Structure formats: C-alpha cells, structure tokens
Structure 1
Amino acid sequence: MIDHISLAVADLIRSKRFYDACLEPLGIAPDEVSEDSCSYESGGGVDFSIHQVGGRPMILPPPESHYAFVAPTREAVDRFFEAALSAGGRDDGPPGLRPEYHSDYYAAFVVDPDGHRIEAVCHLPDGYPGSGHIR
C-alpha cells in the first residue's frame, strides 16, 4: 500500500543519531547516507528515510499524525522507547497494552527531536515468537 516515507528534519546528524538508536531494537539499520539524507532498511516493507530541510521552515503534521514501526516483540518496543529517550526523544506514551485497538496491541510513542510522533508496535501476545505483525 505505501511504498516509502520521508521525514523532513532540521539537523541530519542529530536526527540520524536518534533514529539509529531507536530503530536498532526493531531490526532497522541505516542503509544509504548522503550529506543531506539517510535511508533505513529493515529487509522488507516500507522504505523509511530522513532528509535535512535546507533554507525552508519545518512544517509538522498535526499532533494526531504519527508514524508506526512494527516491532518483532514487546521487549523490542520497550528497548525502542528507552533508546529513543536516551537519544533525545520525548515521552509521548510509555510502553504498554492499548486494548482500545485490540487485546494484544503493545506500543510506545515518542516525539523525535523535530517534533514528529513515532510509534513502535507489536501485535503479538506476550512471549509469542514471530514477526510482530499478526491479526
């Protein structure tokens, strides 16, 4: 359905440090890096990249908008959250079940250094080995 997502960032070095740290627990690593962008590879699915804004003001989406990454386990969600906060992110919802979505929806929300809302979510029951995305 979606091919790729690109986020505008004010400071590529700061944002790369943030995304490198918080996406690593999800199995997502930097792929291609240039002087004004960095793309990330997870081995499948939607491509994700960050691009430094040059000479234009940052315009953020409304606070209801966010970007969710699939986590392979609930532990990976916890590690995502801890890494994001350590790398300059802001808490926007600690790891936990969100039964209003479904009984096994385990997620954490953070705000990146530029104000983008980011989520890591695992749809699997606790202790279930797998990819993190079943329904």
Structure 2
Amino acid sequence: MIDHITFGVSDFKRSVAFYDQALKPLGVARLFTPDPSTTEGVQVTGYGDDRPWLWLAEEDTTTGKLHIAFSASTRSAVDAFYHAALQAGARDNGPPGLRPHYHPNYYAAFVYDPDGHNIEAVCHITSSAP
C-alpha cells in the first residue's frame, strides 16, 4: 500500500495556491508545512484528510524525480526493503532509522531506483517484530 507520494513543482507558491483551491471540494486540505530547516532547505507541504499523504516539494536535486513511500508493517520490513533494494541495484538515499522531525515513531529507509526516483519504506509503529 502507498503511504504517501511527493513530487517536485517548478513554482512552489503557485502550486500551493492551485492545490489549496483544487483539492478543497474533495475534502483534501493542506495539513502540514514543515520548517525548511528540517527538510534540507527545501520547501515542502503536505495535503490530506486525516494525515498528509500528498506532498509538494520545491523542485530540487534532493527530492528526486518522484517520491513514493510504501507502508511497512514493521521496522524489520523497512530494513529488509532497504537491503533488498540495494542488492537489486538501488542507490542509498538514507539508511533505515527514525526520522523524528516527521513524528517520534517515523521509521523509514530511502533509496533511489534505477531511474532516480526516491523510493521509501516507512513504518509508523514502535514494534520491530514481524
């Protein structure tokens, strides 16, 4: 299952204004805009209903062409994804670990696929058991 998706936009302010208006009739709102100091200086904002699952990011080399995060049921599944992806030819973009700037239990790993897309596996719970 897909946890969230992020894509780069060429004009961040214009895109935010567009998505604020276009998604409102669907019950989707801008829910979270982290301080750029926590996102390597890149402006990002998240849209959703009960949690952000669609993210816009300033187009930048750190965001990759496209970012897709897959839900993992355990932290060990995140670890397994990371190692399997590297063995399959991915490039590292962040080893498994906590990302507390998102939330205290955000455990994720990031890789670039062969086309340069930023692929993530994320677990939102504390358990590492299968």
Q: What is the TM-score of this pair, normalised by structure 2? A: 0.50
Higher helix share: 2
